[in-house]
Amino acid sequence: MAWRWVEYEAQVAPATAQPATNTTGAAPRASAAGRPSDRIASTSLGSLRTVGRYPVGSGPHAVPGASVPGASVPGADALDGQGRSRSRSGYRAAVARTTSERAGGSPASADEPALRSYDAVFLDAGGVLVSPHPGQITECFAAAGFVIDPALLLEAHYRGVLAIDDAKAEPEVFDDYHVAYAGHLGLDQDRSADGAAVLRGLWGSSGLWAEPLPGAAEGLDAIAATGVAIVVVSNADGTVADLLTSTGLLQVGPGPGIEVRGIIDSGAVGVAKPDPRIFALALEVAGTTADRAIHVGDAYQYDVRGARAAGIRPVLVDPLGLRLDVDCDRVASLVEVAELLG
């Protein structure tokens, strides 16, 4: 098929404008240049005005002229006969194969119905699909005179996210995260400030979040096998689509990884979780309504609060069993998300 690219831009009304930051603290990257703008379409979602950049297909399932900010959306040739994204070939394993091994899952709160069939699954990127690259972290700490145990890095991330939630931190404010992360690495109070400074410098570099999480590929396979639309919704710096594609886990359109419907990057669209408007954009990409979607993330403060504000059911990734206190569904892995959809 022929692909035609449409440039995007994002504008937020002054009354609600927030600087579009990301998990690294870096400024958002400008929209891609050099591609011809052969069609511009815009949509208004409250005070958010966006113009989309996306490939336009042809045929009965072609994407209409609605904007898809900060994302790419496949046209008819990337969909099957029922309008569903095709998954990586060769995977058709039973979705419920790990039921007896579930760790950390919990039922929904009493005032929420049991999970049923859904049309779309939205996924956070950091802590759900990828984590900071351990080699980059250990090298930077070593350069600063610290010797750390790489085996502690993954748990350090989830300890940091817990600190964000406990502090009810504003979007993209990572001071509490960095202190908790450094503390879990064994840095005492006197050295934790220096360790947090190392992390702040790391978080300012692009390409850090490039390590696929254990079970991420299998979980994506399992979710895609259910036939739901998959959309990534990430607080990032405008580069998350390229980063995720480089891991081989997924991409928009055909490729070596799982084919997803779109990738919504806060750095590209100018609005970040927990603002429900970013989820409105994801619903537009998925072509469904809030009651027919779930969002999977690792931060209660951003993911759960944001999804609920948009009317979307939240699922919290909690592989270490740290969040027994939360009032939403918890899973230890993406494979368990597929089980919930079954």
The pLDDT of residue 142? 94
Tokens 């002054």 map to which residue? Answer: 14
The list of the chain residues with pLDDT below 50 reads 1-110, 113-116
151 alpha-carbon distance from chain centroid? 24
Residue 17 counted as domain residue: yes
| One domain, residues 228 and 330 | yes
| One domain, residues 29 and 112 | yes
For residues 222 and 95, the answer to whether their CB atoms sit within 8 Å is yes
The pLDDT of residue 171? 77
If DSSP codes are grouped into helix, strand and coil, which group holds residue 228? coil
Q: Which domain holds residue 181?
A: 134-203
The pLDDT of residue 8? 29
Residue 239 counted as domain residue: yes
Residue 2 counted as domain residue: no
Cα–Cα separations (whole angstroms), residue 148 to 191, 228, 247: 13, 41, 25
> Within 13 Å and on the Cβ side, how many CA atoms surround 82?
7
Q: In degrees rounded to 5, what are phi and psi of residue 240?
A: -65, -30
The pLDDT of residue 342? 64
The pLDDT of residue 53? 34
Domain tally, the chain: 2
State the CB neighbour count (10 A cutoff) for residue 125: 25
| One domain, residues 108 and 254 | yes
Give the whole-angstrom CA distance, residue 293 versus residue 121.
6
The pLDDT of residue 292? 96
| One domain, residues 257 and 232 | yes
Residue 1 counted as domain residue: no
The pLDDT of residue 230? 98
For residues 275 and 266, the answer to whether their CB atoms sit within 8 Å is no
- List the one residue out of 193, 199, 260 whose CA is nearest residue 224: 260
CATH of the domain at 105: 3.40.50.1000
| One domain, residues 35 and 157 | no
Residue 96 counted as domain residue: yes
For residues 58 and 75, the answer to whether their CB atoms sit within 8 Å is yes
Report which secondary-structure segment, H or E, holds 279.
Answer: helix 276-286
Query: Which of 168, 203, 238 corresponds to the end of one domain?
Result: 203
The pLDDT of residue 120? 98
The pLDDT of residue 340? 87
Query: Which of 169, 203, 237 corresponds to the end of one domain?
Result: 203
Q: Which two tokens stand for residue 293?
A: 């979607």
| One domain, residues 123 and 139 | no
Residue 3 counted as domain residue: no
| One domain, residues 149 and 289 | no
| One domain, residues 172 and 266 | no
| One domain, residues 120 and 81 | yes
Residue 259 counted as domain residue: yes
The pLDDT of residue 111? 52
